Structures are given as structure tokens and as C-alpha cells.
Chain A
Amino acid sequence: MKAFVTGLGWVTSAGMGRGRSGDRFAFGKGELPILSRQRIFADPYPRFGRLDDFSRLGLAGIALALADGGFDHCHDKRNIGLFAATILGSMATDITYFDSLLPERGGLASPNLFAYTLSSTFLGEAAIRFGLSGPGFVANLTGKGELDPFVLGLEGIAFNDCESAVCGFCNTSVPSVDPSNGQPEGALFLVLERSGLAGGHSYGILCRQPDGQIFVDDVPVPDCQKMVEVLQSNLPEHK
């Protein structure tokens, strides 16, 4: 399975970035940056401020990747799939929502907050914002491979579910449940395209071998850090 990588965006504790902006990807430690609308979107987007933290993080990662690939402005709906892996998903929002129920025996339940207790809701936000009519889901994976989330997108294209896919991961911590969280907080998304026409502006080809190994072009990449490094090194200014 393989596809061209044409967009790259992330938000981690070390900062947010886009592949073509020359930003360096790292997971980092500590708090995630504050995600204001102005830092992610050039034009007004009032909904962004009303999203829960998990959805805001995921949507920011997707928006940065799409903008990096030049997909952020389009008037027509496009068959682009959205696939995201997560560990705890919307659990922090679940807790906020359920805690709001307890004092008044349900009387204070917020319908808006409830909608964000589905881990997949942020994909709907991205679909609306960017006109993406492809399939989409959020996945919990028992596998520990850092690059497993990107295989979801490769599969979506290989299975003809969509022509292009935005895929990656979105993780926020929930200290009251899992202080270690198993994986650093953050979101990293790639835009993958099937079409050979993408080759002209692609970072290279992401490929999953039958034995499960992930390559960028001919270079094996064991983790996110290396994958992003190799992808960025393929940009013309790095050659």
C-alpha cells in the first residue's frame, strides 16, 4: 500500500507546524500550545472557539495538514477521507459532561457538549469546514506502532474508499484517569493522495510493506520523528 504525501501538519507540546513552513516536528513535554482561531485559520471561524479541547486539537492538526497541501480552500465537496487514531479520545470531555449532570440529576446536561463526547465529532467539524465528503472514522488501536494511524489512510486509498485521505492521530491527556497517557499529547496529520499528479508537489511516497514496515520512498521510518524528517528532507529546498 502506498500513496503520495502532499500535506503535513502537527500540534505538539513543542509547538505547532506545517511541513513546508520549515518547522521542526518534535513531541516535546509539557502543555500543548493555546490553539486560538487566529493561529490556525486566516478567516473568521466562530465555531472553533466553542469546540472542546480534543476536537480543537484534532481539527487544528487536520487544518494545518490541509493548508500545507493547498487543500484548505475549495468550493466543491471532495472525496477526501478522514481517519484518526486516538488513545483516550474524548474522555476528558466525557468527564466534563458527566460531572455537569450529577448536581442537578441531568438538569444541566448540555446538548452541545454531549455532541463532543463522540470521539469522531471533530472529523465532522473538519468535513464541514473543508467540504470533505469522504468516509471517516476514529480508531482505538491496541497496536503500539507509532505509525499505525497512517496505515488507516493508506488502507482507505488502497481499498478505493477515497481518492485522498487525511490521516493521523489526536491525543489529549486525562490526568485523573491516566497520568502517563502512554503517548505524548498532540496531533499529527498527513494528507495522502493516490493520484500520480500529486507527485509534482509531494513529499514522497509513504508505503507500507507486507511485513508491516513503513517507508518514505526507499527509506525505512520507524517512528513519527523520522518519518517527518525524511518527508521534509525531500522538499526542494533541502535537496
Chain B
Amino acid sequence: MAKRVIVLNEVVICAAAAVTALGDTLDQTWERLLKGECGIRPVTRFDTSGYAAAAAACVADLLPAANGSRLPILLERLLDGFGTVPVECMLLTASTKGEIDLLERFRRGEVIDRQKLLPETFLHHLRRMTGLRGEVVNIQAACASSTLALGRGAGIIAHGLADAVLVVCCDLVSEFVFSGFSALQALSPGSCRPFDRHRDGLSLGEGAAALLLMNRNRAVREKRPVLARLLGWGAANDANHITAPARDGGGLILAVKRALERSGISPGEVAGISAHGTGTVFNDLMELTAFRTLFGERKLPLHSVKGATGHTLGAAGGIEAALAVRSLESGLLPPTVGLQNAEPGAEGCVDNQALPFSGKVLLSTNSGFGGINGALILGREDWR
């Protein structure tokens, strides 16, 4: 019997937006990132005196909304000017802690409508904000949440379950999360320095991203701009440790291999990497090990945005994918802000200046607690 061949739909990115500590738009974040600016500042929204650090990359002037959480305002800024999305578009979100600041207020004794504390309340609110009709799925995979959500959205389109998927990614800086990373001794006392040999931990950040994925045929029919192609996606678990990455990078290697296999792209065609690059000793070392295994001794340009935007947790992969779209357009990888002396093995690959790269395909990766790793292969519209 002949094997059934499934022809998959091509997935393209038609719109991208981001809000970070560097700005309320993707343009602002991109421009300030290229200048090597850092959004990490002393935290003022809670007392940090009991913690191992005092700084984070908070979005400027982000005040609580009427419901008591900062998240609705963050999302309003994100979606302001995003443009129209097809009304039947599916909505996926990626957030590890959602409106965690509401739970904090509730436990501090404030009277909070308990319905507002339910995760689905926030999802319904976002659906109303976007004007979409369908059900919403929030994907939680720790710091790889966005990457897995983008992969799931791409799978939905590739396999014909929908023509359009809006992926919205967001997480806040909160005392809840700050205290936890402090207790884990994972926070840098200053600003994080990804891939630096003297790196000493991560800096938290907050932010949001929105990416509209579409079936290429639909995008062409509607004359939508194609910003980039989502060529491949993959995820894998280290199955090794709950909070520490596998030192051999086994899960990340597997995730990237799965993404490459799906895209039909050879490792040699990858022109640059947007790494997770948290600035912790073990994460960055694990990534360098994985990239060396995957790409050999090739000096592949790579960067991390977290020295500028902080680690935005569940939003990180979405923000980084949106920035990767700009990288593909411009042929520039942003500076790795905070870098002074590259970790052995990263010399010649990472820089505190913008790095030009020649090629049309970028890899973006994220890894998280629970051993999860995610990888995306993004391509320029004129790739092949």
C-alpha cells in the first residue's frame, strides 16, 4: 500500500509586536537594543531589601489596571496598533504566572473578587480585547512557554486546523517570582551578563509579545505582509533535573534537531542564533555545549537579549521571535548587552555590538524548569 503523503501548509508570520523595558513597541525595543541600551533598573514596585538583587527590567510606568493587575495594561499597550486579525483566528497564550500580582494582593489581605483570580478569567479578558470568538488555550512550559506556543500554533496551521493563530505571550515582574529566583540564588546582584565568563546570574524582566501566524495562502489572499517564515519547531525534555539544565545539553540538542528535521534545513544553513542566554553559569554553558554539538566548530553568530530586557520568563520566546524577525529583515543580530569577556567557547560568536550575519535562517531557543527545551527555525521570505 502506498504511504500517504501529507502536504503541510506553509506557516508565515504576518505581524509582530512586543513591549519590553526598552519600549512599548517592537521598533523601540529593536532600536534601543541595537544601541546596546539596558532596561534593567532598581525595582520600585516592591521592597527588595530582603533579596539577593535589587534590579529588574520593568516596563516603564506600568500601573495596575482597574482589576488590580498590571497585566491588562501591558496587553493594551501590546495590542495597540497591532492591526486586524481574522475574527476566526485561534488564540494561544503563553504565560507562566499570568496575573500573579492579583494573587499577591489577595494574600496581603486586599478584597479581590475571587473570580478574577482564576486563570481563565484573564484568558476571557484577552479574548475580548482581541475581538476573537474561539476558545483560548494558555500554554505553560516554564521559560519555554512562548516557544512551545508558537510551535503549537504553527502545527495547527501546518496541519490545516486553522488558517490563522494569534500567539500572545506575557509575564510580569512580581515579588512572588523575584523572591523565588532570589531563594534559588539565581539572580545577578547587578545586571545579567549572558555568555560572559564572569556572569553571575539572571536579571528578571517583564514584557509581552504578539505574533500573528498564518497559512501562506491565506496571507497572500488577504495581501498581508509576510515578515518571516516559521520553517521549523521542536521541543524536548532533558529528563534530567527539575531546576538545572542537563550539562550535555541533551534536551536542547534534541529540540533543535527536531526543529531542523521538520524544516528540512541542514545545520549548515543556520546563519545565527537567538539563544536563551539567561546569564546563569549553567544555562549558558549548557547552550554553548549544545550549539557546539549541533554546529561543530563553526563560529556561528549568537546573541542573548536578556542583558537588555531581562529574563521575561514565559514571554521570552515570543519577544525573541519578534526580534528575530527584525534580525532577518536587517541582517543584524542585536548586541549581547552586558557582555565584557566572552565565555571560552563563545569568543568570536557573541559580542556587545550588533553582529552582521549573512544568511536567511535563524535559530531561536529557550529552556526552562522541568527540563523543557524549545527551538524555532525562522527564515526570511526570500529563503529558497
Chain A interfacial positions (CB closer than 8 Å to B): 77, 79, 82, 87-89, 91, 94-95, 97-99, 101-102, 104-107, 109-111, 114-115, 117-121, 123-125, 127-128, 130-143, 155, 158-161, 177-178
Whether B96 sits at the interface, judged by CB under 8 Å, is yes
Are A88 and B118 CB-contacts (below 8 A) given A102-B107, A124-B237?
yes
Contacts of A130 in B (CB 8 A): 239
Knowing that A118-B96, A120-B370 touch, tell me 7 more A-B residue pairs with CB under 8 angstroms: A91-B103, A97-B176, A120-B372, A123-B370, A130-B239, A134-B235, A137-B139
Q: Chain B 79-100, CB within 8 Å of chain A: the 1/0 string?
A: 0000000000000000011001
Whether B137 sits at the interface, judged by CB under 8 Å, is yes
Residues of B in contact (CB 8 Å), total: 67
Whether B50 sits at the interface, judged by CB under 8 Å, is yes
CB-nearest residue of chain A relative to B106?
A: A177
How many angstroms from the CA of A139 to the CA of B250 in the assembled complex?
A: 25
> What is the CB-to-nearest-CB distance from B6 to chain A, in angstroms, rounded to a whole number?
9
A111 touches B239 (CB 8 A): no
Q: Which single member of A107, A124, A141, A159 contacts B137 (CB below 8 Å)?
A: A141
B118 touches A177 (CB 8 A): yes
B176 touches A105 (CB 8 A): no
B180 touches A111 (CB 8 A): yes
Whether B104 sits at the interface, judged by CB under 8 Å, is yes
Indicate the member of B114, B138, B179, B184 with the most A CB atoms within 10 Å: B179
> What is the CB-to-nearest-CB distance from B284 to chain A, in angstroms, rounded to a whole number?
20
A121 touches B370 (CB 8 A): yes
Contacts of B372 in A (CB 8 A): 120, 123-124, 135-137
Contacts of A120 in B (CB 8 A): 140-142, 368-370, 372
Whether B243 sits at the interface, judged by CB under 8 Å, is yes
A97 touches B180 (CB 8 A): yes
B100 touches A94 (CB 8 A): yes
Contacts of A89 in B (CB 8 A): 119, 140
B50 touches A155 (CB 8 A): no
Contacts of B123 in A (CB 8 A): 140, 142
Contacts of A88 in B (CB 8 A): 118-119
Are A114 and B180 CB-contacts (below 8 A) given A142-B120, A155-B155?
yes
How many angstroms from the CA of A134 to the CA of B141 in the assembled complex?
A: 13
> What is the CB-to-nearest-CB distance from B158 to chain A, in angstroms, rounded to a whole number?
7
A132 touches B239 (CB 8 A): yes
> What is the CB-to-nearest-CB distance from B93 to chain A, in angstroms, rounded to a whole number?
8
> What is the CB-to-nearest-CB distance from A88 to chain B, in angstroms, rounded to a whole number?
7
Q: Which single member of B50, B137, B141 contacts A104 (CB below 8 Å)?
A: B50
B237 touches A87 (CB 8 A): no
> What is the CB-to-nearest-CB distance from B48 to chain A, in angstroms, rounded to a whole number?
9
A77 touches B239 (CB 8 A): yes
How many angstroms from the CA of A82 to the CA of B141 in the assembled complex?
A: 11
Contacts of A139 in B (CB 8 A): 137-140
Are A102 and B152 CB-contacts (below 8 A) given A87-B118, A121-B370?
no
B235 touches A111 (CB 8 A): no
Contacts of A141 in B (CB 8 A): 120, 135-138
How many angstroms from the CA of A125 to the CA of B237 in the assembled complex?
A: 11
Are A178 and B237 CB-contacts (below 8 A) given A110-B183, A119-B140, A133-B254?
no
How many angstroms from the CA of A177 to the CA of B113 in the assembled complex?
A: 9
Contacts of B51 in A (CB 8 A): 106
CB-nearest residue of chain A relative to B233?
A: A161
Q: Which single member of B120, B148, B155 contacts A137 (CB below 8 Å)?
A: B148
B242 touches A159 (CB 8 A): no
Closest A-B pairs by Cβ, 9 of them: A124-B370, A114-B180, A135-B235, A159-B155, A106-B50, A109-B183, A143-B135, A137-B141, A140-B138
Contacts of A79 in B (CB 8 A): 236
CB-nearest residue of chain A relative to B149?
A: A137
Contacts of A97 in B (CB 8 A): 176, 180
Indicate the member of B139, B152, B183, B251 with the most A CB atoms within 10 Å: B183
Contacts of A127 in B (CB 8 A): 237-239, 370-371
Indicate the member of B127, B156, B258 with the most A CB atoms within 10 Å: B258
Whether B218 sits at the interface, judged by CB under 8 Å, is no
Whether B219 sits at the interface, judged by CB under 8 Å, is no
A142 touches B124 (CB 8 A): yes
How many angstroms from the CA of A121 to the CA of B140 in the assembled complex?
A: 10
Contacts of B258 in A (CB 8 A): 161
Whether B240 sits at the interface, judged by CB under 8 Å, is yes
> What is the CB-to-nearest-CB distance from A24 to chain B, in angstroms, rounded to a whole number?
30
How many angstroms from the CA of A199 to the CA of B30 in the assembled complex?
A: 52
How many angstroms from the CA of A98 to the CA of B183 in the assembled complex?
A: 13
Indicate the member of A133, A134, A160 with the most B CB atoms within 10 Å: A133
